[in-house]
Amino acid sequence: MPTSRPRYAVTETDELKLVLDRLERQWPGESRSRLLLRVVETGVDALRESNADVLARRRREVREGARMMPAGIYPEDWREQLHNEWPE
């Protein structure tokens, strides 16, 4: 099929063959190339979830760290003071 997009060649190694054989049982009737696309899509979804988990953990840690800061560590007008330090 003509396309202007890049194509990728993948050699079926013994390990890839085992994976594709297993995936054929999970998604019967799918071509092996479609099974490869499913693996890529599943991997992308897993990375997104992992990244979302990392982001949620970091936000939680920042909130917890902020609670540990002593009250009154910054003056009430700290934003104005910070702004005044920078020339326009």
C-alpha to C-alpha distances, 86 to 48, 79, 81, nearest whole angstrom: 39, 12, 9
Angle of helix 32-68 versus helix 14-26 axis, rounded to 10? 90
Count of Cβ atoms closer than 10 Å to residue 51 Cβ: 10
> Does pTM top 0.85 for this prediction?
no
For 12-62, the pLDDT digits (tens) are 999 999 999 999 999 999 999 999 999 999 999 988 889 888 899 999 998
* Domain residue spans of the chain: 14-84
